[in-house]
Amino acid sequence: MSFDEAAKVLKEAKKVVILTGAGVSKESGLDTFRDAKGDGLWSQYNPMELATPQAFQRDPDLVWRWYNFRRDKAFETSPNPGHEVIATWENKFEKLLLVTQNVDGLHQRAGSKKVVCLHGNLLQVRCLKSGKTLTKEEPFESVPPYCQCGSMLRPDIVWFGEALPEGAMEKSLGATLEADVLLVAGTSLQVYPAASLVPYALQRGIPVIEVNVEQSDFSSKTCFLSGPSGEVLPKLDSLLS
Ligand code: BV8
């Protein structure tokens, strides 16, 4: 399928589900997850090992320094045209649900309201004792931070081996089942169960438009639009008006 064919599918669509990953934040200057090591200090750590409850248990200071580094990066960046187009599409389609794997909060800052955050949010923390979540949109002076109750706070992030927020996948799969099209942008589709939205849509014959700078395991079955999402999504949008 080409750009024009993808635009035709979107033009005829009433219900749209969008799944995004770290690639849509790349043009805002944030590293993608697999290269979220940043430079210098973090180059010797593997994000796949730091984003686990075991790492936090073993060395909460180290894990907190990594998340604080990523929080600070997220504060310094702004949404890019890819985030902005997705936000405007909430008013373009009869029904649109954004399902994101990203934790940087950039979709919300771009104006997206109907968002399922599958993996949590860097701007939220959770009390280890009570489980209460707090939004913390300014940098921490020191980490690990502590709750007023005296217990340590953890990032309100879904780590590998942890369950996704209750109902998040059910809501995402339910919307995909009803969708006329699933658009996937900026994700390697390597993390589950998030990536399962794609085979779920394909099995039901729902068209899947994929926006990425490199192919994924599913690209032979999707409508693959090659290019950075910050350029491809505005181009698609211009074909819809
Ligand atoms: C769970 C928070 C069960 C942390 C993250 C099958 C079913 C279920 C689970 C599994 C399964 N198989 C394996 C598992 C276990 C595991 C898993 O998926 N492992 C993988 C590595 C195989 N899954 C889990 O552990 C999940 N939990 O299943 O729990 C359970 C049930 C009940 C009770 C207990 C347990 C939890 C997974 C969540 C992990 N947390 N994030 C943090 O961020 O610090 S996932 C992490 O990876 C990020 O959220 C990231 O978003 C996500 C996915 O990566 P991508 O977003 O795709 O980013 P990536 O870097 O990989 O790729 C970037 C892409 O962008 C590339 O394709 C690139 O080409 C593209 N790109 C670059 N530039 C651009 C671009 N595209 C467009 N434009 C550009 N400019």
Q: Which strands sit side by side in the sheet containing 153-157, from one edge to the other?
A: 133-135, 120-127, 153-157
pLDDT averaged over the chain? 94
Q: Is the CB of residue 186 below 6 angstroms from any atom belonging to ligand 1?
A: yes
Which of 31, 32, 62, 215 for a ligand 1 pocket mutation test, highest count of atoms within 8 Å of Cβ? 32
- pLDDT over 70, % of the chain: 95
Q: In this model, does residue 233 exceed pLDDT 70? A: yes
Q: Where are the domains of the chain?
A: 3-29+79-119+163-240, 33-76+127-157
3-state secondary structure of 181: strand
Q: Is the CB of residue 192 below 6 angstroms from any atom belonging to ligand 1?
A: yes
Q: Which strands sit side by side in the sheet containing 208-212, from one edge to the other?
A: 115-117, 95-100, 15-20, 181-185, 208-212, 223-226
Catalytic residue at 107? no
Q: Which among 10, 119, 153, 210 is annotated as catalytic?
A: 119
Each residue of 137-157: pLDDT tens digit?
A: 988 999 999 999 999 999 999
Q: Which CATH superfamily is domain 3-29+79-119+163-240 in?
A: TPP-binding domain (3.40.50.1220)
The secondary element (H helix, E strand) that includes residue 127 is: strand 120-127
Give 21 Cα–ligand 1 centroid separation in angstroms: 8
Residue 189 Cα: closest atom of ligand 1: 57
Each residue of 161-187: pLDDT tens digit?
A: 999 999 999 999 999 999 999 999 999
pTM, full prediction: 0.96
Give 189 Cα–ligand 1 centroid separation in angstroms: 7
Nearby residues of 179 by Cβ (< 8 Å), 6 or more positions away: 13, 15, 16, 17, 201, 206
Phi and psi (nearest 5°) for 135?
A: -90, 130
Query: What's the pLDDT band for 35 if we cut at 50, 70, 90?
Result: low
Q: In this model, does residue 38 exceed pLDDT 60? A: no
The secondary element (H helix, E strand) that includes residue 229 is: helix 229-240
Model pLDDT, residue 39: 55
Query: What's the pLDDT band for 46 if we cut at 50, 70, 90?
Result: confident
Model pLDDT, residue 143: 93
Q: Evaluate whether the domain defined by 33-76+127-157 bears CATH number 1.20.1740.10.
A: no
Which amino acid is it at 226?
S
What 216-220 contacts at long range (C-beta under 8 Å, 24+ apart), as own/partner pairs, is 216/187, 216/188, 216/189, 216/190, 217/189, 217/190, 218/189
Q: How far apart are CA 221 and CA 8, in angstroms?
A: 18
